Amino acid sequence: MVCAIFFVSAQTAGAQQTEQPLWLQMDRGVALFDEGRLGDALKIFRDVVQRDSSFGNAHMWIGHILAAEGEYEAAVKKYEDALRPGCSFFPGSERVEAYYSLAEISLILGDLDGSRTYLDKVLDLGREEQLPPSRRSAMIRKFIEEGPDKTLELYRLKDKAVRRAYQMYGELELREGRYEEALEHLLLSIMTSLSLVIDNRMHNDPEYVFIQDDLNPGVRRFYTENTARLVVESRRYGDIDEYFTSVGLFRQLFLLGMALLGIDEPEKAQDIWLIVTDNREAGIWFEFAQRQISGPDMKLLSAALQYR
């Protein structure tokens, strides 16, 4: 009897010693997910939920796996589990990611209103440095009148947590033919990305300046040269090039041009597409931009929206 008790006690002690902290299990599960080992990651996240059902991150990552497998309804249920009262996220900012995921699934399923509702949640939770409406309107006017160079000289946006929400809003509005609203949201997204890159360049090189070509109103008014240079030169830095890829910068620039075309600004749209064609590595967006420069056509929009 003493031996049996000792054996059981030893087993219990061993289990306690080998049981990992939840955060360590989560890190391991995320690493497996990134490696494409979805089944192994799923086991870990389910174990975390079994140990602590209030761990919102674990529910969310189960949702990510189900979404990756095309099980959208089941994924939605897990995202909703993650967001239910009593669940916590670590860090708290991760809650925004669950709403992003719900917005993306709604878009896949054709529920545009649902996607917009979830994006509203993202903005409510994640927005930190919102431009006042008057400055936002002034920024849009400045871009339409004088282009991205002057706009970036005057405005720097840093609210990166909601950048993707602006991008998704812009795409929704392009689908619906609401080109003015699409232009506004795509510009907010692109301005945020390029503002962050300018800050990165200035941090690493105290002598870096964004405006290198003078903005001479006697020659022209819509300036893109400094923005084009920023994109080309910044791609030489591996981390910035990866960032441009991760946010789909060339896709966004192409769609921004389509929004300009939609509000009857074909020449300015072509100037934006020229930023894309300065980068052959832009792939399909290089090809799309070349086609539009040759002859702008709104019919290309529906095809472009199918590509990521």
List per-residue pLDDT tens for the chain, 308 residues long.
Answer: 444 443 444 444 444 446 789 999 999 999 999 999 999 999 999 999 999 999 999 999 999 999 999 999 999 999 999 999 999 999 988 999 999 999 999 999 999 999 999 999 999 998 887 788 999 999 999 999 999 999 999 999 988 899 999 999 999 999 999 999 999 999 999 999 999 999 999 999 999 999 998 776 656 689 999 999 999 999 999 999 999 999 999 999 999 999 999 999 999 999 999 999 999 999 999 999 999 999 999 999 999 999 98
Yes or no: say if 139 and 150 are a contact pair by the CB < 8 Å rule: no
d(CA 217, CA 224): 13
Give the per-residue pLDDT at 18. 61
Quote the CA–CA distance of 139 and 133 in Å, as a whole number: 10
CB count within 10 Å of CB 270 equals 18
At the fourth CATH level, the homologous superfamily of domain 20-125 is Tetratricopeptide repeat domain (1.25.40.10)
Rounded to a whole number of angstroms, the distance between the first and last alpha carbons of the chain is: 66
Distances (CA, A) of 15 to 18, 24, 25, 31, 76: 5, 16, 15, 23, 34
- Report the alpha-carbon distance of residue 35 to residue 33 in Å, rounded: 5
- For the chain, give every residue range classified as CATH 1.25.40.10: 20-125
Give the residues across from 55 on adjacent strands: 88
Cis geometry, peptide bond prior to residue 91 (ω within 30 degrees of 0): yes
Closest CA to 174 of 104, 97, 254, 120: 254
